[in-house]
Amino acid sequence: MRLVCLLGFTIAPALAACPYAQDAGVHVGSSANPHANLARDTIPTGETPAVGSATASSAAGKKGVMLMNRISPAKSKLYIANADGTNERPLLKNPVYEYHADFSPDAQWISFTSERNGDGNSDIWRVRPDGSDLQPIVTSPAVEDSAVISPNGTLVAYVSTANNFEANIWIKDLDTGTEWNITDTPANRADPDMMHGNFRPAWSPDGEWIAFSSDRNTIWDGHGRPSFNGLAGWEHTQELAIYVIRPDGSDLRLVTNRTRYSLGSPKWSPDEERLVFYEMTRNATYDAHRPESLANTSSAIVSIRLDGTDRRVEVDGPNVKTFPQYVTNTTIGYHVKGGQNDGLYHTDGTCYTADIRSPSWSPDGKLVVYEKVDWSVRPLYKKLYSWDNDWDYRFTYVFPQLSSDELIAVTHRQHGDASILTFDTNGNEVLSVYSSSDSDLIYRASATHNERGAYYPSWSPDGDWIAFGVGSWFDERDVHGGWIMRSTANGSYTEVLVDSQLNLTDGGKLNSGFPSFSPDGKKLVYRVWGPNTLMHNDGTEIGLRILDLETRKITQLTSSWDNLPSFSQDGKLILFTRKINPTNYDICTIRADGTDLRVLTTSGANDAHAVWRQDGKIMWSSGMYGFRCECALYDRTFQPYGQIMIMDPDGSNKRPLTNSIWEDSMPLFLTRDGF
Ligand X SMILES: *[C@@H]1O[C@H](CO)[C@@H](O)[C@H](O)[C@H]1NC(C)=O
- Interaction site with ligand X (CB under 6 A): 150, 152, 154-155, 163-164, 168, 181, 184-185, 207, 217, 223-225, 247, 254, 257-259, 270-271, 283, 286-287, 292-293, 296, 329, 445, 464, 479, 488, 490, 492, 502-503
Residues 432-440: contacts with CB under 8 Å, at least 24 apart? 432/491, 433/409, 433/457, 433/466, 433/487, 433/489, 433/490, 433/491, 434/466, 434/468, 434/470, 434/485, 434/487, 434/491, 434/494, 436/470, 437/45, 439/470
CB of 234 to ligand X, least distance (A): 11
DSSP 51: B
> Residue 164 or residue 556: which is nearer to ligand X going by CB?
164
> Residue 74 or residue 210: which is nearer to ligand X going by CB?
210
- Using CA atoms of 348, 353, 359, 361 in order, give the dihedral in degrees to the nearest 10: -40
Closest CA to 629 of 137, 167, 216, 110: 167
> Residue 227 or residue 559: which is nearer to ligand X going by CB?
227
CB of 152 to ligand X, least distance (A): 4
> Residue 257 or residue 376: which is nearer to ligand X going by CB?
257
Number of alpha helices (DSSP H) and beta strands (DSSP E) in the chain = 3, 48
CB of 414 to ligand X, least distance (A): 18
CB of 374 closer than 8 Å to CB of 75: yes
> Residue 95 or residue 318: which is nearer to ligand X going by CB?
318
Neighbours of 233 (CB within 10 A): 18
Neighbours of 84 (CB within 10 A): 16
CB of 379 to ligand X, least distance (A): 27
d(CA 486, CA 125): 50
> Residue 286 or residue 662: which is nearer to ligand X going by CB?
286
> Residue 98 or residue 239: which is nearer to ligand X going by CB?
239
Closest CA to 214 of 193, 242, 188, 253: 242
Measured in degrees and rounded to the nearest 5, phi and psi for residue 339 equal 70, -155
Please name the residues in contact with 436: beta carbons below 8 A apart, sequence gap of 6 or more. 417, 418, 419, 442, 452, 453, 454, 470
CB of 472 to ligand X, least distance (A): 11
CB of 484 to ligand X, least distance (A): 19
> Residue 225 or residue 536: which is nearer to ligand X going by CB?
225
d(CA 378, CA 88): 26
d(CA 73, CA 1): 11
CB of 459 to ligand X, least distance (A): 13
d(CA 97, CA 364): 27
CB of 536 to ligand X, least distance (A): 19
C-alpha dihedral sign at 435, 437, 438, 439: positive
CB of 290 to ligand X, least distance (A): 8
For the chain, what is the radius of gyration of the CA atoms? 25
d(CA 476, CA 499): 17
Distances (CA, A) of 206 to 90, 105, 480: 31, 10, 59
> Residue 207 or residue 649: which is nearer to ligand X going by CB?
207
CB of 625 to ligand X, least distance (A): 11
DSSP 3-state assignment of 23? coil
> Residue 79 or residue 423: which is nearer to ligand X going by CB?
423
> Residue 185 or residue 559: which is nearer to ligand X going by CB?
185
C-alpha dihedral sign at 69, 147, 370, 266: positive
> Residue 184 or residue 562: which is nearer to ligand X going by CB?
184
d(CA 658, CA 675): 17
Strand partners, 199: 213
Residue closest to ligand X when measured from CB atoms = 207
CB of 351 to ligand X, least distance (A): 20
CB of 305 to ligand X, least distance (A): 14
